Amino acid sequence: MIYIYRVVFVFTFLFISYSAFTPSNLDLSVIYLDKILHFSAFLFLTFLLDASLRKPLVSQRWSILFLITFAGFIEFIQYFLPYRSAESFDFLSDLLGILVYLYFAPKIYVKAEK
């Protein structure tokens, strides 16, 4: 099962990268939809990374640093793309998605084991 999570993680990582670096057709009529998508994408990506590792993600600081660096890298590259814009709140939404998962995942796993 761990290998399935790894494959899904890689495809999700590639999808997020593609979505971040291509022109957006996002309908911004919903307030903060962009921030909600950033939060959701990194919450899901963090879950997939955790599920694809043999040890809990909380104990693997390099993996967490990888996700944070990836979030920062996206915003850095978007700064140089004429059809995208880099926003610090997008980066904060990404971080919040990572942190929410890291906060709640150990609590959920402990309850599931009981």
| Domain membership flag for residue 43 | yes
Question: Mean pLDDT in each 10-residue stretch from start to end of the chain (114 residues)?
Answer: 94 95 78 89 96 86 95 96 91 97 81 51
Note down the domain range covering 95: 30-113
Query: Are residues 62 and 13 in contact, defined by beta-carbon separation less than 8 angstroms?
Result: no
| Domain membership flag for residue 19 | no
Report the pLDDT value the prediction gives residue 58, as an integer from 0 to 100.
77
pTM: 0.88
| Domain membership flag for residue 11 | no
Report the pLDDT value the prediction gives residue 59, as an integer from 0 to 100.
83
From the number of C-beta atoms within 10 Å of its C-beta (0-12, 13-18, 19+), residue 42 rates as: buried
| Domain membership flag for residue 40 | yes
The residues near 104 (Cβ < 8 Å, ≥ 6 apart) are: none
| Domain membership flag for residue 76 | yes
CA dist 69 → 1, 34, 42 (Å): 27, 20, 12
Closest CA to 57 of 14, 90, 91, 100: 100
Domain count, the chain: 1
| Domain membership flag for residue 25 | no
Query: Are residues 77 and 21 in contact, defined by beta-carbon separation less than 8 angstroms?
Result: yes
